[in-house]
């Protein structure tokens, strides 16, 4: 099955603070695309929105968010480092034209979306990284294969960068970076499967996941950490059952990258674990990042903001 999805990307910090970036890291085709301003027209949906008659039942959230924490063994540079990942899934009303959360959930120009906030934290020796990805995927009216918006931010001791992508006949991308070689840029990218939307597709319905040959635009974090060209790559996806769990696996041969995700379909498509194998920078040796579930609970976390509520962090075995 070949699917097409909107795409996000953003280039990140280089091997060290010196930022000695080679020119071929950014695909040359990006130099030829025209810059596009984000649509701000009130009451109009962005161009080329893919309509869908399918609505997905997300009633199990019912005013709660699913918070899941994972232990992380992060393959970075020439070693594997300890870290942590938090995945937060929640549904919310989202304005179609402005592409922000609706203050009024009954707004006629809004659509319900599944929002994923993913926070990766890990240290490489002395200094640490924090990477934050947000994906907003429609669960009604429009195809769940096309997120309405994706953002990505990355911070470490060298500096920080930020990217935002909005669906608009493809995707309009805006990038702001601390580094000269990345600068402040805006450009347009055509539709292609977006790796950053795979978790949301999986949580919505595993039937949305691409199986067989397909094209994929690697996740923002992947490209930021590996310094590969900003373009789509050929991929191969498959699914199978193992030890009572649904497993989705895909490979990007050109990047020597393989991802395997284990899912409990009986628990609202809970992500139990996943692993990513790829060559790390510096020595190019194949290493594997491993993510394993530590704690999970559905709750209105935004209500737990008193000093005494810090004790609840232990329930998720949080270290950051």
Each residue's pLDDT tens digit in the chain (320 positions)?
A: 444 443 333 344 344 444 444 334 444 334 443 343 433 334 445 556 677 777 888 888 889 999 999 999 999 999 999 999 999 999 999 999 999 999 998 888 999 999 999 999 999 999 999 999 999 999 998 888 889 999 999 999 999 989 898 998 888 888 888 877 766 888 888 888 899 999 999 999 999 999 999 999 889 899 888 888 778 899 999 999 999 999 999 999 999 999 999 999 999 999 999 999 999 999 999 999 999 999 999 999 999 999 999 999 999 999 99
- Return the beta strands (E) in the chain as ranges: 65-76, 79-95, 110-124, 127-138, 149-156, 159-167, 171-177, 185-189, 193-194, 212-217, 233-242, 245-252, 257-264, 270-279, 286-299
* Cβ atoms within 10 Å of 73's Cβ, excluding its own: 16
Q: Check residue 182 and give its pLDDT.
A: 67
Q: Check residue 230 and give its pLDDT.
A: 77
Q: Check residue 117 and give its pLDDT.
A: 99
What is the span of the domain harbouring residue 222? Answer: 23-316
In a domain, 42, yes or no: yes
Q: Check residue 223 and give its pLDDT.
A: 80
In a domain, 5, yes or no: no
CA–CA distances in Å: residue 178 to residues 64, 73, 153, 240: 36, 27, 12, 43
**What is the Cα Rg of the chain in Å?**
19
In a domain, 9, yes or no: no
Three-state SS at 178: coil
| Rounded Cα gap, residues 246 and 274, in angstroms | 12
In the beta sheet, which residues pair with residue 204?
none
In a domain, 257, yes or no: yes
In the beta sheet, which residues pair with residue 70?
85, 293
| Rounded Cα gap, residues 55 and 115, in angstroms | 15
Q: Check residue 199 and give its pLDDT.
A: 98
In a domain, 131, yes or no: yes
| Rounded Cα gap, residues 316 and 311, in angstroms | 10
In a domain, 12, yes or no: no
Q: Check residue 13 and give its pLDDT.
A: 38
In a domain, 105, yes or no: yes
Retrieve residue 29's tokens: 């085709």
Cα dihedral 92, 198, 267, 65 in deg (nearest 10): -30
* Cβ atoms within 10 Å of 133's Cβ, excluding its own: 23
**Strand pairing report for 79-95 and 212-217:** unpaired
Closest CA to 220 of 144, 132, 292, 280: 132
- In the chain, how many domains are there? 1
Q: Residues 162, 36, 24, CA angle at the centre, nearest 5°?
A: 60
In a domain, 192, yes or no: yes
């Amino acid at each position: 099955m070949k699917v097409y999805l909107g795409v996000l990307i953003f280039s990140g910090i280089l091997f060290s603070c010196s930022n000695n970036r080679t020119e071929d890291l950014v695909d040359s085709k990006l130099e030829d695309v025209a810059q596009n301003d984000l649509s701000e027209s009130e009451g109009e949906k962005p161009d080329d929105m893919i309509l869908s008659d399918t609505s997905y039942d997300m009633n199990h959230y019912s005013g709660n968010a699913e918070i899941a924490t994972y232990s992380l063994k992060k393959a970075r540079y020439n070693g594997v480092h300890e870290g942590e990942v938090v995945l937060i899934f929640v549904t919310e009303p989202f304005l179609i034209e402005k592409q922000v959360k609706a203050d009024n959930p009954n707004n006629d120009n809004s659509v319900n979306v599944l929002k994923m906030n993913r926070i990766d934290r890990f240290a490489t020796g002395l200094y640490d990284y924090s990477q934050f990805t947000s994906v907003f995927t429609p669960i009604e009216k429009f195809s769940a294969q096309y997120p309405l918006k994706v953002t990505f931010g990355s911070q470490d001791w060298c500096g920080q960068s930020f990217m935002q992508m909005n669906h608009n006949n493809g995707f309009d991308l805006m990038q702001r970076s601390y580094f000269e070689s990345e600068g402040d840029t805006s450009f347009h990218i055509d539709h292609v499967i977006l790796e950053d939307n795979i978790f949301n597709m999986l949580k919505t319905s595993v039937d949305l996941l691409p199986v067989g040959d397909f094209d994929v635009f690697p996740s923002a974090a992947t490209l930021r950490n590996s310094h590969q060209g900003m373009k789509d790559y050929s991929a191969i996806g498959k699914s199978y059952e193992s030890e009572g769990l649904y497993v989705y696996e895909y490979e990007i041969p050109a990047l020597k990258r393989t991802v395997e995700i284990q899912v409990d379909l009986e628990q609202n498509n809970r992500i139990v674990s996943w692993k990513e194998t790829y060559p790390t920078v510096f020595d190019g040796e194949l290493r594997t990042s491993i993510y394993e579930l530590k704690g999970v609970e559905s709750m209105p976390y935004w209500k737990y903001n008193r000093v005494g509520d810090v004790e609840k962090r232990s329930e998720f075995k949080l270290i950051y």
